[in-house]
Copies of this chain bind each other. A is one copy, B any other.
Amino acid sequence: MNLLIIMASNPYSHDFNTVVKLIEASLKRNHKTKIFFMANGEYCLLREEIKNLHEKGLEVYYCAHNAEQRKIKPESWAESSSMYGLAKLMTEADKVLIFD
């Protein structure tokens, strides 16, 4: 399946652990797996775990507006996007999960 996770929770939260573990499992099952960071989720872009998951195949997107607002400068493995970009990702996804 094509799985999209929208992450709006901060990186030292219950949701962060859940999201990391779900993504690991989804990649193990060879599902196309994408994450979109927004709101306080942007801070997760600073955690190693996300970079490591990207190296295992996770596609990483983020809301550029929220990142700028929070003065976060994501590295190049994360793709700058927008709420319209998220709408497009939703079109392609079989399942969409949100954590906020």
Q: Report which A residues bind B (CB closer than 8 A).
A: 10-12, 39-40, 43, 46, 70-72
Total identical chains: 2
* A interface majority secondary structure: loop
**CB-defined contacts of A40 to chain B, threshold 8 Å:** 10, 12
A11 vs chain B, min Cβ distance (A): 8
Give complex CA distance A10, B10 in Å.
Answer: 8
A42 vs chain B, min Cβ distance (A): 10
Give complex CA distance A10, B11 in Å.
Answer: 10
A100 vs chain B, min Cβ distance (A): 12
**CB-defined contacts of A71 to chain B, threshold 8 Å:** 46
Give complex CA distance A46, B43 in Å.
Answer: 11
